[in-house]
């Protein structure tokens, strides 16, 4: 597995970030990934609006300086979308938690948490990002031979989810999509820190 670190953004919160990751934007209209590769990175000073749909905010652009290349990453401002386009509030979403089942399902896809995705070359599907995840579903998506797995953070009151799938064109690449923000610290236990201190050090890697 590749090395990984964490980036912290005032909007996105803390999220894992492989040191040599390749970042690329989410196309919020089709919910698919736009193609972007190391050989075809975004222009250094391009704004998200120029390359993606207007649902992205410039404030979510996170420059990542690697040894010789600049890559960019940003998340989808789903709450903004829901407020401006769908006219739904944060409270509308939370109604689903205790409300009728129909209401819960209705809110399921209308309002999304902030999302962030990246792809890594890895043999294992699930990257060790310091958090504990519980798998709650698996689905074979159209035009891919590899199933997509759905995970939820095991921490109580934490609603962060992630999807893991392999790239159809290159099965060596794992696409991980995080949805939401962790309301807690990574659940690394003392043993982990002792055995693998580098993992803990990378927590503040930037």
Partner DNA sequence: CGAGTTTGACCAGCGC
Partner DNA sequence: GCGCTGGTCAAACTCG
Give the residues lining the site for DNA (CB under 7 A). Answer: 31, 101-102, 104-106, 108-110, 132-142, 148-151, 154, 161, 163
**Measured from the CB atom, is 64 or 88 closer to DNA?**
88
CB 162 within 8 A of CB 146: no
**Measured from the CB atom, is 139 or 172 closer to DNA?**
139
CB 32 within 8 A of CB 155: no
Write the DSSP string, 146-181.
Answer: SEEEEEEE-STT---EEEEEE-SS-TTEEEEEEES-
Name 71's Cβ contacts closer than 8 Å, sequence gap at least 6. 21, 22, 23, 38, 41, 42, 64
CB 149 within 8 A of CB 134: no
CA–CA–CA angle 164, 167, 171 (5° rounding): 105
In angstroms, the CA 105 to CA 63 distance is 36
Rounded to a whole number of angstroms, the minimum distance from the CB of residue 179 to DNA is: 7
Rounded to a whole number of angstroms, the minimum distance from the CB of residue 82 to DNA is: 11
Name 80's Cβ contacts closer than 8 Å, sequence gap at least 6. 55, 57
**Measured from the CB atom, is 19 or 97 closer to DNA?**
97
Rounded to a whole number of angstroms, the minimum distance from the CB of residue 161 to DNA is: 6
Rounded to a whole number of angstroms, the minimum distance from the CB of residue 14 to DNA is: 20
Rounded to a whole number of angstroms, the minimum distance from the CB of residue 66 to DNA is: 29
Rounded to a whole number of angstroms, the minimum distance from the CB of residue 110 to DNA is: 5
**Measured from the CB atom, is 7 or 167 closer to DNA?**
167
**Measured from the CB atom, is 70 or 154 closer to DNA?**
154
Name 188's Cβ contacts closer than 8 Å, sequence gap at least 6. 130, 199, 200
**Measured from the CB atom, is 20 or 144 closer to DNA?**
144
């Amino acid at each position: 597995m590749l090395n990984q670190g964490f980036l912290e953004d005032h909007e996105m919160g803390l999220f894992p970030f492989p040191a040599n990751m390749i970042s690329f934007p989410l196309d919020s209209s089709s919910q698919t990934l736009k193609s972007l590769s190391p050989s075809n990175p975004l222009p250094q000073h391009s704004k998200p609006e120029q390359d993606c749909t207007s649902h992205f905010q410039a404030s979510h652009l996170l420059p990542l300086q690697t040894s010789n290349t600049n890559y960019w990453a940003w998340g989808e401002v789903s709450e903004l979308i829901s407020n401006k386009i769908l006219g739904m509030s944060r409270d509308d979403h939370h109604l689903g938690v205790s409300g009728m089942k129909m209401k819960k399902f209705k809110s399921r896809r209308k309002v999304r948490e902030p999302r962030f995705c990246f792809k890594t070359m890895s043999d294992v599907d699930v990257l060790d990002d310091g958090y504990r995840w519980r798998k709650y579903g698996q689905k074979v998506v159209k035009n891919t031979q590899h199933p997509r797995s759905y995970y939820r953070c095991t921490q109580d009151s934490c609603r962060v989810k992630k999807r893991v799938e392999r790239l159809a064109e290159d099965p060596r690449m794992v696409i991980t999509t995080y949805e939401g923000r962790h309301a807690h610290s990574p659940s690394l236990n003392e043993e982990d820190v002792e055995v693998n201190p580098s993992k803990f050090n990378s927590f503040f890697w930037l």
